[in-house]
Amino acid sequence: MDIFQALLQSHERQRAICKRLLSGIGDHNERKQALDELRSEMAAHETAEERAFYVPLIEHDDTVDEARHAIAEHHEMDEMVEELDKSKEGSAEWLEMMGKLVHKVGHHLQEEEQKFFPEAKKVLEPRQREELGALYLQEHERLFEKETQ
């Protein structure tokens, strides 16, 4: 699996969880479970993606700005999750922040896929794409286990 296919797998998982978060809006257990899943998936994905995708992209002049932008967004999303954890689940404030987080995640995934992936394809050689895919999957699995233990 190359790095793009590997990243897309997680993006689809995140989209599915976000959908559940929005649709399970009135159900406490469903919402809590979906948020826990999103938190773990995002944490593992962001770090593995930074190591296996954005670090190599930082090394190229043509993609350094995109990499920097994406990593800054990871940080913003982490802060949004932290804020969400501080407010009372199900409160008006919580629902509003949850909606903003889901919107931000959707924007981030779309920007990566539509803007950054095409740029990255210009600088990453086919063999490197495969190697990075393997590195990403290994890191994601290890980090996800750590998050959910």
- Report the residue number, 9 or 33, with the smaller CB distance to Fe ion: 9
Q: How many whole angstroms separate alpha carbon 56 and alpha carbon 101?
A: 27
Count CB-CB contacts under 10 A for residue 63.
21
Min dist CB 26 to Fe ion, Å, is 29
**Min separation Cβ 6 and Fe ion, Å:** 10
Q: Is 23 helix (H, G, I), strand (E, B) or coil?
A: helix
Nearer to Fe ion, 49 or 139 (CB): 49
Amino acid letter for position 40: S
Short-list 135, 146, 120, 148, CA closest to 48: 135
d(CA 42, CA 79): 12
Q: 2 or 112: whose CB is closer to Fe ion? A: 112
Q: How far is the CB of 53 from Fe ion (least distance, A)?
A: 8
Query: Where does this chain bind Fe ion (CB under 5 A)?
Result: 49, 112
- 57 or 84: CB nearest Fe ion: 57
CB of 51 to Fe ion, least distance (A): 12
